[in-house]
Amino acid sequence: MLHNAFASLTDLSKPVAVVAMALLLGLGVFAGLCLTVFCFVVRLVIVIRSGSKCKPGKKGPISVLVVAGSGGHTTEILRLMDSLSQSYSPRHYVIADTDKMSEDKIRTFESTKDGRVSEGRFTIQRIPRSREVRQSWGSSVVSTLNALLYALPLVFRLRPDLVLCNGPGTCVPLCVAGLLLGLLGLKKVLIVYVESVCRVESLSLSGRILYYLSDYFFVQWSTLKEKYPKSIYLGRIV
Amino acid sequence: MKRVFVTVGTTSFDELIERVTTPEATQALKARGYQHLVLQVGRGSILPDSDSCHELTLEVFRFKDSIAEDIKCADLVISHAGAGSCLETLGAGKPLLVVVNDQLMNNHQLELADQLYQDAHLLYCTPSTLIETLKMMDLSVLSPFLPGKPKNFADFLDKALGVQ
């Protein structure tokens, strides 16, 4: 019976069989892709949703990856760092490799934080800048991907409990790298985003992306809280 | 000696420098008791000569590593709408007049200056209304700008992350 069916199948004219096989194969690949994307999205949602249950503070010191930007971004994030207790240690500061000012600011800040410098409690890491001011969107995508190549090994090596950032372009690839650690089940990295105080009515480009990917998203003006209900508003915090 | 500090930030704002050094503007400043005018002109093409002003003593420079000292010494700061300059000036507790560059509309930096104006932390004008503003302005209407509270952020995070 089976043999007969097989024989009749081979009896079919060759082109029809080839087309049928190709169609089946295509359908299989497509279904496989859909399933992969579906699984990926489900996993992504699970990882992002798991943020509120993640309490690294219960286990001891929290290692932090601090994404400093340039100029105003660095000043703002250092004000936030100043408010955090010694439970947040070690602190790894990431700066863009073209940024000379931020390193000085960070070193000055760390040396005055508790009036004593102790090497090893903080480090400074450099990655290529992902987006220069006024760079076009197209070339931004390319340089962001380039920055991701540097961000991935950095985040995988440091495995921070927390990524803290406030909007420089560099923070998107770093947060994506942190998210990937969670997706692979290696470690849940909490993403904390604080939108700059300069943003009153609209989010920055990084903010618009990380609103969906972060675990805690802070805004500093009530207008933004109304527009982005998932955000956290505690008044001005810098 | 009462000082006025004018800052244009990292770019240029020739129209502001031009207006603020007109005889009409310097007379208005003198009438208010200011005697010294310091200009940070950035990359601007106008670099006023320090002898060109008869009403006030004039000091001009392009850039400095930090303008914190100039802000600290000033009794009035006239600034472009940049967020950094606004926050630094208000943080130092100095009266601030922001001059908006109307050629740079849709700049997100204006968002903050506009909000701070609505909350009465600064005065707001354009280059064309600068002289009139210098004559008419009332600095006593300004309300102090209280520093933000990073402690609220730290407390929230401690709780959320289970820090004991």
Residues A38 and A63 grouped into a single domain: no
Chain-chain contact of B149 with A55 (C-beta, under 8 angstroms): no
Judge whether residue A5 has pLDDT over 70.
Answer: no
A83 contacts: CB under 8 Å, gap ≥ 6: B150, B151, B153, B154
Task: Write the residue in B112, B150, B164 that is nearest to A200 by C-beta.
Answer: B112
Rounded to a whole number, what is the distance in Å from the CA of A151 to chain B's nearest CA? 24
Judge whether residue A69 has pLDDT over 90.
Answer: no
Residue A102 is predicted with a pLDDT of 86
Judge whether residue A7 has pLDDT over 80.
Answer: no
| Residue A223: domain span | 54-233
Domain of A120: which CATH number? 3.40.50.2000
Structure token pair of residue A84: 């955090």
Residue with tokens 């000055």: A108
Distance CA B20, CA B7 (A): 11
Average pLDDT estimate for A158-179: 92
Residues A186 and A222 grouped into a single domain: yes
In total, the C-beta contacts within 8 angstroms joining chain A to chain B are 85
Residues A18 and A111 grouped into a single domain: no
Q: Least CA distance to B147: which residue of chain A?
A: A238
Judge whether residue B109 has pLDDT over 90.
Answer: no
Q: Which amino acid is at A44?
A: L
Q: Which CATH number fits domain B3-161: 3.40.50.2000, 3.30.590.10, 3.30.70.3280, 3.40.50.300?
A: 3.40.50.2000
Residues A27 and A102 grouped into a single domain: no
How many C-beta atoms surround the C-beta of residue A141 within 10 A?
A: 12
Residue B134 is predicted with a pLDDT of 97
Task: Write the residue in B108, B153, B162 that is nearest to A234 by C-beta.
Answer: B153
| Widest distance between CA atoms in chain B | 64
Distance CA B152, CA A232 (A): 11
Instruction: Give residue B164's pLDDT band: very low, low, confident or very high (50, 70, 90).
Output: confident
Residue B102 is predicted with a pLDDT of 81
Rounded to a whole number, what is the distance in Å from the CA of B54 to chain A's nearest CA? 37
Best CA proximity match to B8, nearest among B95, B104, B141: B104
- Split into its structural domains, chain A has a count of 2
| B160 in contact with A, Cβ within 8 Å | yes
Judge whether residue B138 has pLDDT over 90.
Answer: yes
pLDDT in tens, A192-223: 999 999 999 999 989 999 999 999 999 999 99
pLDDT in tens, A118-159: 555 899 998 877 555 566 777 778 877 888 899 999 999 999
pLDDT in tens, B85-102: 999 999 999 999 999 988
| A26 in contact with B, Cβ within 8 Å | no
Ramachandran category for residue A185: left, alpha or beta (phi over 0 → left; psi -120 to 50 → alpha): left
A238 occurs within a structural domain: no
pLDDT in tens, A70-89: 767 888 999 999 999 999 99
Q: Domain coordinates of chain B in residue numbers? A: 3-161
Distance CA B103, CA B17 (A): 15
Here the ipTM equals: 0.84
Residue A119 is predicted with a pLDDT of 52
Q: Least CA distance to B118: which residue of chain A?
A: A200
Residues A6 and A69 grouped into a single domain: no
Distance CA A91, CA A67 (A): 10
Chain-chain contact of B148 with A71 (C-beta, under 8 angstroms): no
Instruction: Give residue A101's pLDDT band: very low, low, confident or very high (50, 70, 90).
Output: confident
Interface test with B, best of A164, A200, A238 (most B CBs within 10 A): A200
Instruction: Output the CA torsion sign for A178, A88, A67, A97.
Output: negative
Judge whether residue A117 has pLDDT over 70.
Answer: no
Best CA proximity match to A126, nearest among A150, A162, A161: A150
